[in-house]
Structure 1
């Protein structure tokens, strides 16, 4: 059985009791922290530990998706946690430069004892036990990736942040669970509307749509209802703390 636990959904900043984007994927014997938005680390620690994680996967480098990686670094470096090998982090290539800049270092070598940085690219594949992660470049006005996670014949598709595009259709094709952002009320070049999220699920044969990353101009209930009307299939609102099996 594969499962996705929602750690955070807020965009573009955290709200009381609602962290920014973060999810815990458990599948094929592996545990992966997918996006690490502000506040999501504390929620992650309700369900697992940093020592138990097999990897972190970051869709893009906007703050609402990576902010708590800094806290994870501090926890692993200074938090007196049990020793572990460096935690693999799969992210756009500029992550090292961002970390170096934040910590006023010449390069990202200083994190190597605790974080092992791996740059994503279009078609990048990672195998963690029986779990296979495939990243595809998508349209968000920056280096950004969607994720297709496969194990035991079950498929999770995650949009990250992006506008509709052919690569995302390929990621979502036949997925058991599609986690799709619905940030904007009207179409833009960088985000989905709820209707577009529902249309994506319908045309790609998704079994279950989960609506997340709803922007401040929409309510989560409204966005979910609009997506469901376009999908005409099982649709769920992502709620912090919920675990969805697929």
Structure 2
């Protein structure tokens, strides 16, 4: 796997809370020696260490600030500053506007604000934000989740992975995923809610988004607890002609 120009490792994909064998949303995206921790849901820091140490992570990217996508930033802060890890510099952290103050609110226990910036070099995302992290290029787009939320396209070596984060179907995600090798897309909802309440994909929506974007491969993730992974894959496959997989925890997928 190390020779693959781009690879995705699933740390967890449970929602809205971790199960005994599945952490919440978190992924390790790697190319050569570059590693980005994408979403830091509950339990993902433990799973990350099966592959790399926190001090080997080149950046962290957070789609939105719901706990099942970001809660392990709190334990990562303590690991980075008060344990056996010695960082050469704060870890670049890409996340929605206000992420530093949100972390400080949870971490501060007295009159003095916790020094979150000693652990994380914070970069706030905006629609169209681009960043270069080692071998990886990351482009973020705002998506429709009822709070500030982002999807990301990660590219290296001519390969491309797009991660939806949590979102209703939206033009920004489809445009971001155009022609990608792999679309990693959530399938939280068992059934479509009223249009003005929709903030997630159903499995059918996931297939539709992959088809509209002409993705090469679809990986279904963040499957809601009223669905089984097999049901989600089958329902997405009815709307997308390409290969469809489930983001099983611990699995590493070569991209492309």
- Per the TM superposition, whether the score is higher than 0.5 is yes
CA shift for structure 1 position 219 = 1.2
TM-score of the pair, normalised by structure 2 = 0.92
Partner of 2:206: 197
Partner of 2:159: 154
> Which deviations, in whole Å up to 9, do the C-alpha atoms of 1:40-99 show, x marking residues without a partner?
011000000111111000000000000111111111111121332100110011211211
Give 5+ residue unaligned stretches, structure 2. Answer: none
CA shift for structure 1 position 202 = 1.2
Give 5+ residue unaligned stretches, structure 1. Answer: none
The whole-number CA distance in structure 1 between the counterparts of 2:178 and 2:254 is: 18
The whole-number CA distance in structure 2 between the counterparts of 1:232 and 1:107 is: 55
Establish whether residue 42 from structure 1 lines up as the match of residue 42 from structure 2.
no
**Which aligned pairs between 1:60-209 and structure 2 lie closer than 5 A?**
60-104=64-108, 110-188=115-193, 189-209=198-218
Query: CA 1:54–1:6 in 2, change beyond 3 Å: closer, same or farther?
Result: same
Tell me, what secondary structure is at the counterpart of 1:46? coil
The whole-number CA distance in structure 2 between the counterparts of 1:118 and 1:28 is: 24
Query: CA 1:107–1:192 in 2, change beyond 3 Å: closer, same or farther?
Result: farther
Query: CA 1:237–1:153 in 2, change beyond 3 Å: closer, same or farther?
Result: same
How many residues in Structure 1 have an aligned counterpart in Structure 2? 246
Establish whether residue 54 from structure 1 lines up as the match of residue 58 from structure 2.
yes
> Which deviations, in whole Å up to 9, do the C-alpha atoms of 1:123-167 show, x marking residues without a partner?
000011331100000000000000011112110000000000000
CA shift for structure 1 position 17 = 1.4
Query: CA 1:107–1:227 in 2, change beyond 3 Å: closer, same or farther?
Result: farther
The whole-number CA distance in structure 1 between the counterparts of 2:207 and 2:106 is: 38
Q: Which moved more, 1:4-13 or 1:27-36?
A: 27-36
Tell me, what secondary structure is at the counterpart of 2:77? helix
TM-score of the pair, normalised by structure 1 = 0.96
The whole-number CA distance in structure 2 between the counterparts of 1:108 and 1:177 is: 41
Partner of 2:34: 30
Establish whether residue 14 from structure 1 lines up as the match of residue 18 from structure 2.
yes
Tell me, what secondary structure is at the counterpart of 2:147? coil
Query: CA 1:199–1:115 in 2, change beyond 3 Å: closer, same or farther?
Result: same
Q: Is the 8 A contact 1:96 1:108 kept in 2?
A: no
Say which of 206, 218, 242 aligns to 2:251: 242
The whole-number CA distance in structure 2 between the counterparts of 1:153 and 1:201 is: 19
